[in-house]
Amino acid sequence: MVVKDFNPLEDDECIAFSDWLKANNIPHAHIANESRSSSKSAMIRGAKLKRMGQSRGVWDYEVFIPIKGITGRVDCYEMVKIEMKRRKGGTISPEQKTWGKIYELSGINCKICKGADEAIAFVNKYLKKDDFDIY
């Protein structure tokens, strides 16, 4: 039975995407830029992170696409940036739009993805570009 209005939380989409990246040995990092708690310890930690350079709107994922050289071994990586949203809904903040423009002007391929499936398809597009076989 298919649930018609199935719309996982963004956190669940991120976990599914990260699990897929790990299963395929694709180097990646999630940028923990969320701050949802108003507890005193969370506020202190948030203030410290800002002083350390945390920036509002930085996208969720840095994914490093392996690029094979003529020997068939990985010689370098191409970074792509992904901002994860829920399959339905989710809004892009002005700061996220600004970072998206910065990524584009820096020559970094980036995409706002509605769900893990869209993020996986985006990464697969780059993996197939260089005929990189994931294991």
As its CATH architecture, domain 10-129 has: 3-Layer(aba) Sandwich (3.40)
The string of pLDDT tens digits covering residues 77-135 is 999 999 999 999 889 999 999 999 999 999 999 999 999 999 999 999 998 765 544 44
Instruction: Give the least confident one: 42-56, 67-81, 104-118.
Output: 42-56
* Closest-CA residue to 88 (of 13, 20, 2, 1): 13
pTM: 0.83
- Sketch the domain layout of the chain as residue ranges: 10-129
Supply the DSSP string of 75-130, one letter for each residue: EEEEEEEEEEE-SS-----HHHHHHHHHHHHTT-EEEEEESHHHHHHHHHHHHHHT
Residue 35 scores a pLDDT above 80: no
For the chain, the average pLDDT equals 88
